[in-house]
Amino acid sequence: MDPTSAEEITEIRRSVAALCERFGNDYWRELDRERKYPSAFVNAMTEAGFLGVLVPEQYGGVGQGLVVAANILEEVHACGANAAALHAQMYTMGTLLRHGSEAQKQMWLPKIATGGARLQAFGVTEPAAGTDTTSIRTTAERRGDTYVVNGQKVWTSRAEHSDLMILLARTTRKEDVVRRSEGLSVFLVDMKRARGNGMTIKPIRAMINHSTTEVFFDNLEIPADCLIGEEGKGFRYVLDGMNAERILIAAECIGDATWFTRKSSAYANERVVFGRPIGKNQGVQFPIARAYAEAAAARLMVYQAAGLFDAGEACAAEANMAKLLASEASWKAADTCLQTHGGFGFAEEYDVERKFRETRLYQVAPISTNLILSYISEHVLGMPRSY
């Protein structure tokens, strides 16, 4: 059977939904309340083979494409769960898969596929650089058979729960390169060895439960063979994985929109005010219907982008537009759902406020809406670069 056939994808989604039923709303409420990492859920998804979906079969994975991965993540969110800890491993692994040495892949990919090692930490963003990645200040200085790392990363989610980190650091001073994007390198850091030996992790308590942290490097020594690919080409390697990241997160947004619309529709049918269901009022009906239509349209762009990615074709514009449209559709559905529920939407037991907070993130991360619009303006429409 074609691995991306409609029949197989339907069966995969059924399996994902069945697994998610084991982790109901009570599970996610408690995690959110206590700011805990979803270990049991991640382990179950790993054991079912879903986290190894993008790992090639020769390394112990399932060997499927981004279309299948997007369907998995969409279904997770449509079930009311959160796949942040799943997508992180899926797209972060891609840097190792596409640019790592055969020895690195043989060592780590089988463990990642089976759950023997978690690769969920992506050390790129810094306090002074933000989305201006070429301005990062973390350095990795070559000293014989080691690199010595100094600097700081921020918004590095799941660092405390990850065995490995993809780390972007400057190996050549910005003053000594022709282009700002040059002189950046990518490393695969064994966090178990690094922690307490030059690496310190500090949790950041945030609006959503993504186990996000600051990571500090103080003369951390890592073996030279931790370098992924060629020294100085790390910025290109990181960019190479961003299309997959945006497509996968866009799929999660579609799942959120589905969850919100189902929740809105059910409540509109059940909630009786002035002797009739509130869903009889067009002022309630129409926003829900519009949110559904906008999510359906965005979903087409998400899977167009995923299909292009799997075919090895250029898809930067489609990936960015998928992220833009899907995140806005999920936010519209979230706002509509909260409005439909009125005061009850703010109550924890309805789960609307939790999902409302979670889906708001995607207007900002992993890339903001304004940066996507800037990209489309310049690279798709040919307008002057904005500053």
Residue whose structure tokens are 């959120």: 256
Count of the separate structural domains present in the chain: 3
Within a domain: 50: yes
pLDDT tens-digit readout, 219-267 = 999 999 999 999 999 999 998 889 999 999 999 999 999 999 999 999 9
Q: Which of 87, 118, 149 is where one domain is finished?
A: 118
Q: What is the CATH number of the domain that holds 245?
A: 1.20.140.10
Residue 121 backbone phi and psi in degrees, to 5 = -100, 130
pLDDT score at 5: 84
Asked if residue 326 and residue 193 are part of one domain, the reply reads: no
pTM equals 0.95
pLDDT digits (tens, 9 = 90+) for 63-86: 999 999 999 999 999 999 999 999
Asked whether residue 167 is assigned to any structural domain, the reply reads yes
In this structure, are 281 and 364 located in the same domain? Answer: yes
Distances (CA, A) of 314 to 209, 220, 244, 308, 310: 34, 37, 12, 7, 10
CATH of the domain at 168: 2.40.110.10
Q: Is residue 347 domain-shared with residue 272, that is, in the same domain?
A: yes
∠ CA 145-112-52, rounded to 5°: 145
Residue 56 and residue 132 in one domain: no
- Give the model's pLDDT for residue 15: 98
Q: Any long-range contacts for 196-204 (C-beta under 8 Å, 24+ apart)?
A: 197/221, 198/149, 201/159, 201/160, 203/160, 204/154, 204/155
Q: Write the DSSP string, 100-142.
A: S-HHHHHHHHHHHHHTSS-EEEEE---TTTTT-GGG---EEEE
d(CA 385, CA 379) in angstroms, rounded, equals 9
CB within 8 A of 107, min separation 6: which ones?
none
Show the domain range for 197.
121-232
Kindly state whether residues 310 and 361 are assigned to the same domain: yes
Per-residue confidence (pLDDT) for residue 88, from 0 to 100: 84
1: in domain: no
In a domain, 387, yes or no: no
Query: In the listed set 98, 118, 138, which residue is the last one of a domain according to the structure?
Result: 118
pLDDT value of position 278: 97
Nearest-angstrom CA–CA distance, 79 and 23: 10
β-sheet bridge partners, residue 223: 146
Supply φ then ψ for residue 271, to 5 degrees. -75, 120
Supply the pLDDT for residue 318: 98
Domain boundary among 213, 232, 251: 232
How far apart CA 64 and CA 74 sit, in angstroms, is 16
Residues 173 and 241 both lie in one domain: no
- For the chain, which ranges sit under pLDDT 70? 1-4, 387
Q: Are residues 142 and 110 in the same domain?
A: no
